[in-house]
Structure 1
Amino acid sequence: MESEIVTKDYDDLCSLPDLNEKTLLENLRNRFKQEKIYTYVGSILIVINPFKFLPIYNPKYVKMYDNHQLGKLEPHIYAVADVAYHAMLQRRKNQCIVISGESGSGKTQSTNFLIHHLTALSQKGFVSGVEQIILGAGPVLEVRLK
């Protein structure tokens, strides 16, 4: 059973047959080696900073993740942004995405990718002025807890 855990790739850690620190870290390591930097834990997205640009942030991916249920496609920051955006439209209530991590973990870059996806969605004509609202929230997004 252990060899299956090491070789099989789980895009949601909740799916691991034996969830413990070793299997969790091994799965993340295996995914990272394949340049799969995103992994779910249920509806939470874990990101491992690759410290390089990956070609997974373009209009093709914006379109691919548009209006898809979380977990139906490979984990991606666009999926999280998309779920929040469409929940905001359907429920007519503000949504919140929390980005947390150590210094240098890629929080600012993740925020930029979220904003990119949200502005791309807003340009489809659903909500006017969303881009300015999101960009105006920049200083709030950079709050550091001490």
Structure 2
Amino acid sequence: MGSKERFHWQSHNVKQSGVDDMVLLPQITEDAIAANLRKRFMDDYIFVPWAKAGGGQQMPYFTDREIDLYQGAAQYENPPHIYALTDNMYRNMLIDCENQCVIISGESGAGKTVAAKYIMGYISKVSGGGEKVQ
């Protein structure tokens, strides 16, 4: 799929290479998955938006721009991101009036604490902060 050939549900706001969520491939076959991974690898677009930085440096994947991009968006509109998960959880909490839970697991040093901080920061930002955030 070339850069001009996008599905209607793919975001035009971000670089696109193949399909971010392989569940959305037209056919879910071993060949289709391999071709998608190959395309993304050749375009240098295999990434996880986690990166370690010394000194508490703000990473470009976790700015107010990303919060605005993911707030209220359907999960398939943007690349996979912890803000997509968090926004979905936050909206479900508001719609269903029920508590929500995110389970963060991984090995020591995998970024669990950092992930929790980004989740709490996102909720604080989109909820308006203040007394509503406990």
TM-score range, shorter chain: 0.5 to 0.7
The one of 19, 27, 41 equivalent to 1:30 is: 41
2:94 maps to 1:89: yes
How far, CA to CA, are the matches of 1:116 and 1:35 in structure 2? 26
How far, CA to CA, are the matches of 1:50 and 1:122 in structure 2? 26
Letter in 1 for 2:109: G
- Cα-Cα RMSD: 3.2
How far, CA to CA, are the matches of 1:101 and 1:19 in structure 2? 27
What's the CA shift for 1:9? 3.6
Name the CA shift for 1:19/1:95 in 2 (closer, same or farther; >3 Å).
Answer: farther
2:70 maps to 1:73: no
How far, CA to CA, are the matches of 2:82 and 2:46 in structure 1? 14
What's the CA shift for 1:35? 6.8
How far, CA to CA, are the matches of 1:9 and 1:91 in structure 2? 34
TM-score (norm 2): 0.64
2:120 maps to 1:115: yes
What's the CA shift for 1:34? 3.6
2:115 maps to 1:104: no
Q: Aligned residue for 2:51?
A: 50
Instruction: Kindly indicate whether structure 1 or structure 2 has the higher relative contact order, using CA contacts under 8 Å at least 6 residues apart.
Output: 2
Which has the larger share of strand?
A: 1
Name the CA shift for 1:56/1:99 in 2 (closer, same or farther; >3 Å).
Answer: same
Could you list the per-position Cα deviations for residues 6-48 of structure 1 after superposition, in whole angstroms to 9, with x for gaps in the alignment?
xx6431143464359x95xx67x939x547315xxxxxxxxxx
Unmatched 5+ stretches in structure 1:
1-7, 39-48, 134-146
**Percent identity among equivalent residues?**
26
TM-score (norm 1): 0.60
